[in-house]
């Protein structure tokens, strides 16, 4: 077919291919989830239904997009790490980001009722997204550690804050004042001495977030099956990266 005289407009499309041989991370984050979690009566500070829905939406993404190596989720955010050598959509940033975000957001809505059986979805949620490239394995490892350290800092603060408010009968302002300038040890001590809570016994999903990994299962001598599994391991410890030393090696 002859080219139409309009076709030159195609040349206005910019090339947004990401650099080869670098780790590609896509991070999604719920827009105004402070309000969204209030509007849907999320438990404070952690709503297990909400976290499980996030995990299932991320699982749907990984089931659909084989080139996602692993994913890490906490609060209203999820990070997806592509295989280093992925050539999906020729590594075009906008294709990768929009397809992934669309699948995640649609899954979050589609599976809402599976987790929120008594809570009607009031309006469509929005997720923003960004693409980040990390040139070295250490950069990627530090990225994962950064996101998990964020869970720890926020969750320790929020757990202490909400215990002071809900059980300690402080106003939110008083609780904030009480925690101002405290370090981790102080918060652990408040939880232990005033609320009989050993922070280390809090559910791992709250303390560490969720990591989705692909595992190959040996079914019998011939057959293997690839599954997606959720763990709450401590990525801040070197042990995790030693135990999972093959994780970042390209096998495909």
Chain residues that interact with ligand DGT, rule: CB under 6 A: 29-34, 37, 42-47, 50, 75-76
Q: Is 33 in the site for Mg ion (CB under 5 A)?
A: yes
Closest distance to ligand DGT from the beta carbon of 31 (Å): 4
Q: Is 77 in the site for Mg ion (CB under 5 A)?
A: yes
Q: Is 209 in the site for Mg ion (CB under 5 A)?
A: no
Q: How far apart are CA 155 and CA 126, in angstroms?
A: 23
From the list Mg ion, ligand DGT, none, which binds 46 (C-beta under 5 to 8 Å, kind-based)?
A: ligand DGT
Closest distance to Mg ion from the beta carbon of 129 (Å): 11
Nearest CB to Mg ion, comparing residues 67 and 77: 77
- 3-32 footprint of Mg ion as x/- string (CB under 5 A): --------------------------xx--
∠ CA(65), CA(117), CA(109), 5° rounding? 35
Q: Is 42 in the site for Mg ion (CB under 5 A)?
A: no
Query: Which segment (33-41, 139-147, 159-167, 195-203) binds Mg ion by CB under 5 A?
Result: 33-41
From the list Mg ion, ligand DGT, none, which binds 107 (C-beta under 5 to 8 Å, kind-based)?
A: none
49, 116 in Cβ contact below 8 A? Answer: yes
Closest distance to ligand DGT from the beta carbon of 75 (Å): 4
Nearest CB to ligand DGT, comparing residues 75 and 105: 75
Nearest CB to ligand DGT, comparing residues 52 and 145: 52
Q: What is the 3-state secondary structure (H, E, C) of the chain?
A: CCCCCCHHHHHHCCCCECCCCCEEEEEEEECCHHHHHHHCCCCCCCCHHHHHHHHHHHHHHHHHCCCEEEEEEECCEEEEEECCCCCHHHHEHHHHHHHHHHHHHHHHHHCHHHHCCCCCCCCCCCEEEEEEEECCHHHHHHHHHHHHHHHHHHHHHHHHHHHHHHCCCCCHHHHHHHHCCCCHHHHHHHHHHHHCCCHHHCCHHHHHCEEEEEEEEECCCCCEEEEEEEECCCCCCHHHHHHCCCCCCCCC
From the list ligand DGT, Mg ion, none, which binds 44 (C-beta under 5 to 8 Å, kind-based)?
A: ligand DGT
Nearest CB to ligand DGT, comparing residues 116 and 199: 116
By CB under 5 A, name the binding residues for Mg ion. Answer: 29-30, 33, 75-77
């Amino acid at each position: 077919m002859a080219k139409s005289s309009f076709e030159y407009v195609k040349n206005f499309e910019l090339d947004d291919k990401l650099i080869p041989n670098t780790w590609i991370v896509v991070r999604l984050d719920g827009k105004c989830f402070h309000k969204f979690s209030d509007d849907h009566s999320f438990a404070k500070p952690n709503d297990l239904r909400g976290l499980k829905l996030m995990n299932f939406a991320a699982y749907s993404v990984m089931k659909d997009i084989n080139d996602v190596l692993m994913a890490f989720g906490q609060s209203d955010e999820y990070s997806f790490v592509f295989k280093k050598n992925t050539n999906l959509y020729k590594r075009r940033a906008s294709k990768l980001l929009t397809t992934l975000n669309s699948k995640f957001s649609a899954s979050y809505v589609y599976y809402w009722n599976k987790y929120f059986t008594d809570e009607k979805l009031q309006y469509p949620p929005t997720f923003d997204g960004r693409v980040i490239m990390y040139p070295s394995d250490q950069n990627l490892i530090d990225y994962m550690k950064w996101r998990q350290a964020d869970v720890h800092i926020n969750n320790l603060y929020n757990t202490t804050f909400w215990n002071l408010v809900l059980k300690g009968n402080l106003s939110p302002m008083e609780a904030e004042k009480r925690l101002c300038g405290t370090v981790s040890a102080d918060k652990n001590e408040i939880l232990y001495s005033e609320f009989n809570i050993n922070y280390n016994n809090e559910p791992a999903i709250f303390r560490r977030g969720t990591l989705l990994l692909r595992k190959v299962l040996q079914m019998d001598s011939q057959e293997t099956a690839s599954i997606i599994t959720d763990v709450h391991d401590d990525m801040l410890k070197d042990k995790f990266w030693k135990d999972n030393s093959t994780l970042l090696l390209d096998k495909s």
